Structure 1
């Protein structure tokens, strides 16, 4: 009987509950999605009966009814079972429940909001095509989102594992939507301004209608972000996935958009200056300028978001900026080498060497400045804090070098087999991979030197710490807890307190330090015995 009970307990706490939860929540996610698709499709057909006719309408109606009638009741039955299970702490604390709620919350929020913004933007432009489908999707998926945000706020069944994940995803999604819409709206304005200089013919809707179409996306995205970040307090969440999302979206995505758009904008202006300004050459400038401004706006808010974060999060953000600059600078260096090699061979048609060299110089300067400001070479840094960064650089460099070698090898073998096929010669065919390979080799060489220096520092530190104390047994009378805390702070060792009976003898921190110094280097574990006033014995432990 005891063995049977133990086996049952082992099964209850083994992999079976985890697998069961995964299966149930995946099934529930599928049923809710299918039922919502059926309801929105049925509602769309009722709102706009004239959009589909004949066989297409019959098929759409049958599909919508089947989805709703079959998946809807099954989803409700399964939810009744799940909601009862979630009253148990073990179920509501399972990671599978937190993942499901975050996934369905984000899915419903994205579908409902994009349908609403699209509907409002289309109406702002004076068009009504597809309004029934957008409105139906907004209403149905909005109801699914409202249901799941009520679950999220219900303290009895809310997930205890990953409790803030739905709000974190919602806040950063809203910010991405708002910033992207700002970039497109600014590009519409800049395109209209550019058209006035070159007297471009107006085709289609006026520019201000395109601006109005972006306003629902801007206002809606920022409202979604504010509701989660401020109203639901996601801006105050620290640690874990909140910090990871901040680095990924607030630094990596915004920084890449700003740096990439700024480089492309400078290249567009520089290329127009070399070849003569024209509407065709300056056409990409409005979108690049709008994206750079929107990205820089998000980057300007990042310092306030990083306030109060862990030092590791601040270091991760700095290293991501350094990585962006390093990627841009290395790419620019590779393009410069490519342009230098291109000048050694006669061009096939035209001469784009100057434009290629201009692009390489722009990326090289922008990337070098960004990398220099973030990496701060020459300043002391914690070697432990950048080991992951160096490994990532080596890994990415290895991938780029491998691809460049494969392309160069393919071109070389192709030239050997059919030299007449590559009329421009071998150098013309391999100059691009040679540029990338050279830049990657230089980047790897520099970071290898940094890695070796950091490794030397770490080995020295570990060697010096070999003789450091690991644990101290303090034997004292009276209330020695303050003395124990001070000893742990000054030595960094684990301090255990063993109270003596029959006396109240204490010692000062200086007396304890002197006793420790008397056996310094003898071993990692010692005992400090307070015999009497001013008498402390240090005994090495095995």
Structure 2
């Protein structure tokens, strides 16, 4: 709640300030002193959000929380939502620049209406995204992989939107002007802007040209991501196909005189059909390729969480164990031991255990392993 309030208020305030800064560049006015009213109305949201965020992070201990639920919230809000806001802002900025360069159907003042909010979304979203990423950089491998999937998912949505809107705008250029409504070039440039923003981010996050290791190909997170993206896009493609069929049927029933409206009726769902079919086909092919790399096998139940009780530098030992074994580690320092144990026996105890939660007590006699209940 605090992060959402801060983000909403900061975007509104920063967007209004940017609009005011751009006002001398165009022949468009902002009536009276309404600009500062927009800023002032956003500041209470910023203040309230900062108070809630500070209380939640510092007093309630959310900053130090390492539970699965805390990771899910960070990924949804701090990664996926923030990345989505940043990409939307970057797409808006790219769209405005393309319209200024290539589209003269509207006045400059009207084109720049969305520029302030776009820049604000880009800056605030990127800031929250970066801050959350820095918190997750030391977490176990499963959380880092989930972060990649979250960014790739948001970026593939932007890419699919770009493909769909580009097809829509290209077909709109073939429709007579009274039917097309908005200038076809405006729609086409919106699709190109979404493609220019979403595709590079998806490529950098997903890296489709790299060989996929067998361990990653068999990971549950990757398989779930591929199945969800394929399934959702296949469903949208099916719905788009049904809409196209319905609209073709309606136009044909209206008689030969309505045949000229057919392209205008089907161009939007046809754009979504093309986009979702391409995305769905790619992720299905990736899923099939993963199956060929490492066929699905029943996975041995593995340790997810370790409670480590040891002496010496317990923090450093926990980080090393987390990086080596890919588990979440909670530490307790022994009062009767000064020297830290070796890392190898701890890794061996984790690898040979079939429990999902494990207590490791390291002492002079070696490492004692105790499986814990869920």
- TM normalised by structure 2 equals 0.73
Q: Which residue does 1:480 correspond to in 2? A: none
**Matched residues in 1 for 2:134 and 2:241: separation?**
44
| TM-superposed deviation, 1:295 | 1.0
Q: Does 2:91 correspond to 1:263?
A: yes
Structure 1 residues 341 and 201, CA, compared in 2 at 3 Å: closer, same or farther? closer
Structure 1 residues 450 and 194, CA, compared in 2 at 3 Å: closer, same or farther? same
Structure 1 residues 210 and 331, CA, compared in 2 at 3 Å: closer, same or farther? closer
Consecutive unaligned residues in structure 1, runs of 5 or more: 1-172, 467-484, 496-542
Residue 273 (structure 2) aligned to one of 437, 443, 448 = 437
Structure 1 residues 367 and 210, CA, compared in 2 at 3 Å: closer, same or farther? closer
Consecutive unaligned residues in structure 2, runs of 5 or more: 301-343, 355-374
Structure 1 residues 416 and 462, CA, compared in 2 at 3 Å: closer, same or farther? same
**Matched residues in 2 for 1:251 and 1:490: separation?**
34
1:486-534 alpha-carbon deviations (Å, 9 max, x no partner): 7993995569xxxxxxxxxxxxxxxxxxxxxxxxxxxxxxxxxxxxxxx
Q: Which residue does 2:245 correspond to in 1? A: 409
**Matched residues in 2 for 1:342 and 1:452: separation?**
36
**Matched residues in 2 for 1:262 and 1:369: separation?**
12
- Look up the SS of the partner of 2:249 in the other structure: helix
| TM-superposed deviation, 1:331 | 1.5
Q: Does 2:81 correspond to 1:253?
A: yes
1:432-452 alpha-carbon deviations (Å, 9 max, x no partner): 212211121111211111111
- Look up the SS of the partner of 1:348 in the other structure: helix
Q: Which residue does 2:282 correspond to in 1? A: 446
Q: Does 2:72 correspond to 1:244?
A: yes
- Look up the SS of the partner of 1:284 in the other structure: helix
**Matched residues in 2 for 1:239 and 1:227: separation?**
19
Q: Which residue does 1:378 correspond to in 2? A: 209
**Matched residues in 2 for 1:312 and 1:253: separation?**
20
| TM-superposed deviation, 1:260 | 1.1
**Matched residues in 2 for 1:315 and 1:217: separation?**
33
**Matched residues in 2 for 1:198 and 1:326: separation?**
35
Residue 134 (structure 2) aligned to one of 304, 307, 327 = 304
1:195-206 aligned within 5 A: 195-206=23-34
Structure 1 residues 307 and 493, CA, compared in 2 at 3 Å: closer, same or farther? closer
**Matched residues in 1 for 2:257 and 2:179: separation?**
17
1:104-129 alpha-carbon deviations (Å, 9 max, x no partner): xxxxxxxxxxxxxxxxxxxxxxxxxx
Are the equivalent residues in 2 in contact too, given 1:239–1:309 (CA < 8 A)?
no
1:257-276 alpha-carbon deviations (Å, 9 max, x no partner): 11112212221232233216
Structure 1 residues 226 and 418, CA, compared in 2 at 3 Å: closer, same or farther? same
Structure 1 residues 346 and 235, CA, compared in 2 at 3 Å: closer, same or farther? same
**Matched residues in 2 for 1:348 and 1:205: separation?**
39
1:32-431 aligned within 5 A: 173-273=1-101, 274-275=103-104, 277-348=107-178, 352-379=183-210, 380-381=212-213, 382-383=216-217, 384=219, 385-419=221-255, 422=258, 424-431=260-267
- Report how many aligned residue pairs link the two structures: 304
**Matched residues in 2 for 1:486 and 1:195: separation?**
67
Q: Which residue does 1:489 correspond to in 2? A: 348
Q: Which has the larger radius of gyration?
A: 1
| TM-superposed deviation, 1:321 | 0.7
| TM-superposed deviation, 1:421 | 6.4
Are the equivalent residues in 1 in contact too, given 2:79–2:133 (CA < 8 A)?
no
1:85-119 alpha-carbon deviations (Å, 9 max, x no partner): xxxxxxxxxxxxxxxxxxxxxxxxxxxxxxxxxxx
